[in-house]
Copies of this chain bind each other. A is one copy, B any other.
Amino acid sequence: MSKKTYVQAINEAVRQEMRRDPKVIVIGEDVAGGQGATGEAGGVGSVFGQMQGLYREFGPDRVIDTPISESAIVGAAAGAALTGLRPVAEMMFVDFVGVCFDQIYNQAAKFRYMFGGKARTPMVLRATIGAGFRAAAQHSQTLHPLFTMVPGLKVVMPSSPYDAKGLLIQAIRDDDPVIFLESKFLFGMEGEVPDEPYRIPFGEANIVREGKHMTFVAFGAMVPRAVAAAEALAKEGVQVEVIDPRTTSPLDEDTILESVAKTGRLVVIDESPPRCSLAADIAGLVADKGFHSLKAPIRQVTCPHTPVPFSPTLEDEYLPTPARIEAAARSILVHA
């Protein structure tokens, strides 16, 4: 056990799985870096360093740089997965999904069903998500609803270094296509991460904080914000339970419903615009199966229905802030 960052945890997960299983390969843009250039190759290791050093350890056959051709990257990963490899493909920013979505949602995700259960597509597609970096509208999206809605995909949103490693190892060993969303916001976050490999099963929520007056559900980078808001409320005696489902698909409905059964109040925090969001998804779930426990309206704290703005003053108000989460919580406390 030792302190590691979120990026280090991701790196360690892939490295250990590559050591364990020769069928695991890495493919994407600049996952090595420097190919064909005059200087050294392999020194980039992904633009945020998640794959750093893997090229040197595993060489060009297993850490494969590609042209800027996301459809071919995802397709190559899916085709390799169908025929026996376990590719870990990288999409530098999730925003690029628009140029390769077909290979994800019509191909990889649907093979098993379309082929009557006869195919396996054990691939992981890693992608970075999230606003907050002044990277503007085409490099700041999260887009987890886009994947969550697709039958055949599993979708992971780790909120800590510990979860990142355990969920990524599970993703690589998983026999279904997994979308693994890495929150840029958390890349530098440190936490205790065991040195040995371990898995965190999909569909099992983490109860980050216990409480009895209200439930917060949050994913990925929204978890620390939800906790911050919960801590602020705790000072006034409001005990909030914070649930991090870790995977949006499968979703641990039971843990959410049990919590609401206890608290009667729910705020869902979601790092995306409001329409057809994961916030709505969970609100809808509870408005159906948890209706009789509800003591107050279900609030959703989301981004506004706008693209991500560039300017710092605008972007700082774009994502759900602890203050907005707190305000939403307060607005349903009065319904006691």
Which residues of B have CB within 8 Å of A305?
151
Which of A84-92, A170-178, A209-217, A283-291 lies at the binding interface? A283-291
Chain B CB within 8 A of A45 CB? no
Binds B, one of A3-11, A105-113, A220-228: A105-113
Taking CB atoms, residues of chain B closer than 8 Å to A119 are: none
Q: In the docked arrangement, what's the CA distance between A103 and B138, Å?
A: 11
Contacts of A248 in B (CB 8 A): 275
What is the count of identical protomers in the complex?
2
**Chain B nearest Cβ from A159, distance in angstroms:** 19
- Answer whether A151 and B284 are a contact pair too, CB < 8 Å, given A102-B99, A138-B110: no
Q: Is A294 an interface residue (CB 8 A)?
A: yes
Chain B hits for A113, CB < 8 A: 137, 306-307, 309
Complex interface: chain B residues within 8 A of A136 (CB):
114
Given contacts A114-B136, A145-B149, A276-B277, 17 further A-B contacts (CB under 8 A): A71-B99, A106-B138, A109-B307, A114-B307, A145-B145, A148-B275, A149-B277, A151-B275, A251-B275, A276-B276, A276-B281, A277-B281, A283-B287, A284-B298, A287-B294, A287-B298, A291-B298
- Residues of A whose CB lies within 8 Å of any CB of B are 71, 95-106, 109-110, 113-114, 136-138, 145-146, 148-152, 248-249, 251, 272-273, 275-281, 283-289, 291-292, 294, 296-300, 304-307, 309
